[in-house]
Amino acid sequence: MLMRSKEVRETFRKCISRRDGIRSFGGTSKISSEGTQHSYSDEEKVAFVNWINKTLADDPDCKHLIPMDPETDSLFKSVKDGILLCKMINLSQSDTIDERVINTKKCTSFTMTENLVLALNSASAIGCTVVNIDAQDMKAGTPHLVLGLLWQIIKIGLFADIEISRNEALIALLGESEELDHLMSMSPEDILLRWVNYHLSAGWEPIRNFSDDIKDSRAYFHLLNQISPKGDGDDEMRIDIDMSGFSESDDERRAELMLKQADRLDCRQFVTPNDVVAGNHKLNIAFVANLFNMYPALNRPASNGIDYTIAGETREDRTFRNWMNSLGVAPHVNHLYSDLHDGLVILQLYERIQVPVNWTRVNKPPYPILGSNMKKLENCNYAVALAKKEAKFSLVGIGGENINEGSSMHTLALVWQLMRRYTLKVLSDIGDGEKVSDQVIIDWVNNTLKQGQKGSYINSFKDKSISTSLPVIDLIDTIMPKAIKYEMVKTGELTPEDKLNNAKYAISVARKIGVRVYALPDDLVEVNPKMVMTVFACLMGRSLKKVDG
C-alpha cells in the first residue's frame, strides 16, 4: 500500500534524526520558517563551546555564562541575553561594539532583546549574513541559527589576518614567477591551503583539501613539526614535536596523538580525533586557521628588486564588502575588486534593489577553460547595461570591461550607487515609492532635531559638526527617548579621542535600537559624506517605521 505523504515525511524525519552527531528539530520564529525541519551538528556545538569557553574565560561580564558544558545544550541557553554574541563579535573584529552600550546588569526580557538586536546588526556590519534571523530566534536558542551565526563570527576572527596587507610575511607563499596580485586575490581558505603545503614541502606530499587529505593526521604531524618554535628568538622556548604517533596504525589513535602535540602548542582547538578522521571540513579549517594565527612560521622574503608594495583594503572597500556579504551574496566576497570581475555578485545586488535581472542571459560558473573571461565580460556588460537603463545610475565612461578588469575607481562608482539605492529603498518603501533626495533627508533630520528641542543642526552631509557625532546622538535621543545616556557623551571642546568615542557610542546605540548601520565610527569623525548619508537615512527609516507602527 502506498504511504500517505505525511507518513513519508514523518519517516524521513525519523531517519535524518538518527544520523550520527546530527540533531533535528522544528523551526521557531516566522522569519526562520516555523514548522520546517532543521538539523545541527553536535561536533560543531562542542567545538564552538570549547572555543568560546577559552576566549571569554577572563571576561567579567560573562562569568554567569562561562564555562559552558559542551556535552549539554547550555550554549543555546547562554546566547539568549545577547552578551555572549556581542563579546564574540568584538573578539573577531575589535571595537565593532562599544561595550558601554551592552546591557550587562540584571537583564530583563526587554534589555536582552536590545542586546540581541545590537549583536545582529553588528554582525551584519562585519559581513555576517543575518537574513532570516531575528532576536527571537536567538532568545529561543534555535540551534541551527545559533551555530550558523557563531560560525560566521568565529570564522571572521580566525581569517582576519590571513590577508597579505595585514600580514606581509604571506608574500613568502608566492610561487615562482607568480604575480603578487594573484596571491592577493586568493580566498583565506586557499591561502591557508598554500601555507600548509609550503610547510609540507620540507618532507611530505601536498594536500588538496581540508577533508579527505588530512584524515590520517600525517600531514598535520609534519605541519606541527615545521611550525613549532625552534628556540631561535631571545624569549622563544623550543618545543620539539614527538613524531612517534606518526606510525600508529589506528587512524583515530593517531589523530589523538597528533592533537596531544597540538596541545603542547596550546592549539588543541575545534577538532576531536573523530573530526579529523571524519574529515570534517569546517572544523579542520578552523583548526588550521588557529595554527596559522599562533605559529605562522613565515618570514617576509627579501625583495631582490621586486616591488612588493601592498595597498591594503581601504575602510570604504571593507564597508562595501561587508554590506554585500551580509546580504548573502554568493560567492562570498573576500576582495572587492577581483571578486566582482564576473558580474555575478553585482547582478544579485540588483535583485536586492528590485532591478529585474534576466538570469537566462547570465553566464554562470564553472566557466569554460577557453573563453572564460569572455563569459565573465558578457556578465559585466549586462550589469552595466542594467545600471544605466533599468536602475538609471550615473555611470559616465564606465563599461563592463572596467568592472571585469577590477578597476577600483569604476567599481566603486557602481557599488556606491547600489548601496545608496539599497539604503534609500527603505525610505521609498515607507513613502509609497516616492524617491528620496539628500535634501529631503537633511530637512527631516533638522526638523526632527528641532521638535526634540536639540541644539544640533546640519547644513549638509559634509557639515563639520558631524565630526562630534552630536547631531547623530541627539537624533537618536529624539526618535528613541532614553536610548542615549548623555553621561557617556563628550561635549564642548573635543579631542580626537573624544570624537572617536562619541562616534563609537552613536553607531552602537543606533544598532541597538534596530538600525542596520554599515558605516564606521571613523566615517563620522572624518565626515565621509557618503557614509554619513547612510547613517541619517537609516535613522530616518527607523523613525518612520516606528510612526507607522
Whether 297 shows a pLDDT value over 60: the answer reads yes
Whether residue 517 is contained in a domain is answered as yes
Phi, psi of 524 (to 5 degrees): -75, -45
- Cell numbers representing residue 514 in the block: 534596530
Mean pLDDT taken over the chain: 92
Tell me the H-state helices in 230-270: 251-264
Look at strands 37-41 and 22-26 and give their pairing. Answer: antiparallel
In a domain, 431, yes or no: no
Is residue 338, in this structure, part of any structural domain at all? Answer: yes
> Is the Cα torsion angle 475, 476, 477, 479 positive or negative in sign?
positive
> Of 37 and 104, which is predicted with more confidence?
104
Domain shared by 409 and 469, yes or no: no
Residue pair 393/387 in contact by the 8 Å Cβ criterion: yes
- Is residue 496 a part of any domain in this protein? yes
User: Cell numbers at residue 331, please?
Assistant: 560567492
> Rounded to an integer, what distance in angstroms lies between the CA atom of residue 469 and that of residue 308?
39
How many CB atoms are closer than 10 A to CB 43?
Answer: 20
40 confidence band (pLDDT: 50, 70, 90):
confident
CB 123 within 8 Å of CB 85: yes
Better pLDDT: 298 or 39: 298
The pLDDT confidence band at residue 233, using thresholds 50, 70 and 90, is: confident
21 part of a folded domain: no
Give the tens place of pLDDT for each residue, 141-197. Answer: 999 999 999 999 999 999 999 998 888 899 999 988 898 889 989 999 999 999 999
Residue type, 243: M
Q: Would you say 441 and 457 are in contact if contact means Cβ atoms under 8 Å apart?
A: no
Q: Report the DSSP beta bridge partners of residue 23.
A: 40
Q: What is the pLDDT of residue 451?
A: 97
Same-domain pairing of 283 and 339 = no
Q: Using CA atoms, how far apart are residues 546 and 371, in angstroms rounded to an integer?
A: 52
For position 8, what pLDDT does the model report?
A: 40
- Output the CA–CA distances (angstroms, integers) from residue 104 to 90, 95, 502, 534, in the order listed: 15, 17, 20, 29
Q: How confident is the model at residue 21 (pLDDT cuts 50, 70, 90)?
A: low
Q: Which domain holds residue 116?
A: 40-159
Are 246 and 330 contained in the same domain? no
Q: Which pLDDT value is given to residue 426?
A: 84
pLDDT digits (tens, 9 = 90+) for 2-18: 444 444 444 434 433 43
Q: Where are the alpha helices (DSSP H) in 70-108?
A: 74-78, 83-92
pLDDT in tens, 503-522: 999 999 999 999 999 999 99
If DSSP codes are grouped into helix, strand and coil, which group holds residue 26? strand
Are 79 and 172 in a shared domain? no
Tell me which of 264, 294, 324 is where a domain ends. Answer: 294
**Is the pLDDT reported for residue 127 higher than 90?**
yes
Q: How confident is the model at residue 236 (pLDDT cuts 50, 70, 90)?
A: confident
Cell numbers 572597500 label which residue? 317
Position 235 pLDDT exceeds 90: no
Over residues 271-288, the pLDDT tens digits come to 999 999 999 999 999 999
Region 18-32 average pLDDT: 52
Alpha-helical segments (H) within 173-250: 180-184, 188-200, 218-227
- pLDDT surpassing 60 at residue 347: yes
Distances (CA, A) of 506 to 48, 97, 523, 533, 546: 31, 10, 12, 15, 19
Looking at residue 34, its pLDDT comes to: 55
Per-residue pLDDT reduced to its tens digit, 421-438: 999 998 888 766 677 899
Same domain assignment for residues 154 and 176: no
Q: What is the dihedral of CA 48, 118, 428, 409, to 10 degrees?
A: -70
- State the number of CA atoms in the 13 A half-sphere of 167 facing the CB: 21
Judging by beta carbons within 10 Å of its beta carbon (0-12, 13-18, 19+), is residue 451 exposed, middle or buried? exposed
Could you tell me the CA-to-CA distances from 357 to 351, 381, 433 in Å, in that order? Answer: 7, 13, 20
Three cell numbers written together for 510? 543606533
At residue 455, the pLDDT reads 95
Express each pLDDT in 316-338 by its tens digit: 999 999 999 999 999 999 999 99
Whole-angstrom distance, CA of residue 410 vs CA of residue 98: 34
- For residue 443, is pLDDT > 80? yes
pLDDT value, residue 545: 82
Q: How many CB atoms lie under 10 A from the CB of residue 208?
A: 10
CA angle 114, 117, 123 (to 5 degrees): 140
The verdict on 406 and 487 lying in the same domain is no
Task: Tell me if 341 sits within 8 A of 376, measured CB to CB.
Answer: yes
Q: Are residues 48 and 83 in the same domain?
A: yes
Q: Is the pTM of the predicted complex or chain greater than 0.75?
A: yes
Residues in the chain: 549
Q: In this predicted model, what pLDDT tens digit does every residue of 241-274 receive, in sequence order? A: 999 999 999 999 999 999 999 999 999 999 999 9
Cis peptide before 366 (omega within 30 of 0): yes
The burial of 522, by beta-carbon neighbours within 10 Å (0-12 exposed, 13-18 middle, 19 or more buried), is given as middle
Q: Which residues pair with 22 in a beta bridge?
A: 41
Beta bridge mates, 25: 38
Question: Any idea which residue has 538518527 for its cell?
Answer: 18
pLDDT of residue 25: 54
Is cis: bond before 368, omega within 30 of 0?
no
How many Cα atoms are found within 13 Å in the side-chain-facing hemisphere of 443? 5
Residue 374: inside a domain: yes
60-115 pLDDT, tens per residue?
A: 999 999 999 999 999 999 999 999 999 999 999 999 999 999 999 999 999 999 99
Pick from 18, 17, 76: which is nearest to 48 by CA?
76
Which grid cell is 311?
Answer: 595597498
Q: Is 3 exposed, middle or buried (0-12, 13-18, 19+ CB in 10 A)?
A: exposed
Query: In terms of domains, do 155 and 172 share one?
Result: no
Phi, psi (degrees; rounded to nearest 5) at 36: -85, 160
Query: Bigger pLDDT: 300 or 373?
Result: 373
- Peptide bond preceding 365: is omega within 30 degrees of 0, i.e. cis? no
Asked if residue 30 is part of any domain, the answer here is no
* Residue at 2 is within a domain: no
134 and 114 share a domain?
Answer: yes
- Does residue 289 sit in the same domain as residue 323? no
Q: Is 523 helix (H, G, I), strand (E, B) or coil?
A: helix
Residue at which a domain ends, from 425, 458, 483: 425
Instruction: Determine the pLDDT at residue 36.
Output: 55
Whether 199 and 235 map to the same domain: the answer is yes
Pick from 149, 147, 137: which is nearest to 46 by CA?
147
Cell of 180: 603578487
The span from the CA of 417 to the CA of 407, in Å, is: 16
Confidence of residue 547 (pLDDT cuts 50, 70, 90): low
Within this chain, do residues 136 and 54 fall inside the same structural domain, yes or no?
yes
Name the percent of the chain in helix, strand, coil, to the closest 5. 55, 0, 40
Chosen domain end from 373, 397, 425: 425
How many structural domains comprise the chain?
Answer: 4
Q: How far apart are CA 291 and CA 32, in angstroms?
A: 35
CATH value at residue 129: 1.10.418.10
